[in-house]
Amino acid sequence: MIIGNKKVAIIGAGYVGSSIAYSLALRDIAREIVLIDINIEKAEGEAKDIRHGLPSMGTTDLYAGDYKDCADCDLIIITAGRGRNPGESRLDLAKENIEIVKNVVNSIKKYYTRGVILIISNPVDIITLKVDEWMGLPNGMVFGSGCILDSSRFVRTIADYLELNTGVINGYIVGEHGDGQVPIWSNVTINGIPIDEYCENVDLPWNDDVKNQMAIKVKNMGAEIIKSKGKTHYGIATCVCYLADAILNQKATIVSVCSTLMGEHGVRNIALSVPSVVGPRGVQQRIRERWDQEEYRAFFDSVNNIRNKLKSVSS
């Protein structure tokens, strides 16, 4: 079963937005994709470049448009905003990107009729909360990519250490998409087997030092890529494809994304990542899984960090 027209609008035709459009087109997930950017010529160039390869790869109708094309979308993806420079944290972008995205939302609201709104712009946790407030939609209809990419990097890192395929590994990062991210080691499993038990069976070292080294590596991956090539865009584009498939094709899945919490883990009125059921209505449910005490403490540190940043950008 499908919903609507499987129409997607992508706001922002920079590296991230155009990579998302390219990935969605190659996967043939959407029937219609519109690229919208303040630089109309840039959006047109990106759309034409992607379109030229589609006859042999997919059937998506992809074109450059404007905000009126947000009408009747099933999914609106916001990537607008400045990216990180080397040495910056995602939170350093807050004030500047909040203003940029506020203007985007004001333009969307003129034509919005329906559909899920997915936030990619950083700092994604803060901007997701703001867009949720500005749009006034039912809870979960606005959500952010949050820790989905961090979780993917986490699983990749574990797989490399264990020398296994990523498909047998289940694990999540929660909290802030940034320095306050929290790996939930207590729930990592290898084909259903707790990771500490698996490592004991295969005689691999498994202790706090190993876990800390992995956590630091995962946390720094984005900054290292930016230092090497100036941008990160392929990884998030792939993750967005996964989310878009869940939304457009009713393939509900569980991923760690950010949305405004409604009392989960005792937290309200702040957007952070927890494992969530994502489907045609966006975040349809947040999973209240159990963590160990140290993980809870780290999560609440992340909550306080975001709350403090919200106060600073609101002042």
Determine the Cα–Cα distance for residues 91 and 99; give it in Å rounded to an integer: 14
Q: Catalytic pick from 52, 177, 233, 265?
A: 177
276-to-86, 172, 269, 282, 290 alpha-carbon distances in Å: 31, 11, 17, 10, 14
Determine the Cα–Cα distance for residues 7 and 74; give it in Å rounded to an integer: 5
> What is the distance of C-alpha 1 from the center of its chain?
25
| 302, 181 contact by CB (below 8 A) | yes
| 266, 299 contact by CB (below 8 A) | no
| 108, 70 contact by CB (below 8 A) | yes
- For the chain, what percentages of helix, strand and coil (3-state, to nearest 5) are there? 50, 20, 30
> What is the distance of C-alpha 4 from the center of its chain?
23
177 is catalytic: yes
Residue numbers annotated as active site = 177
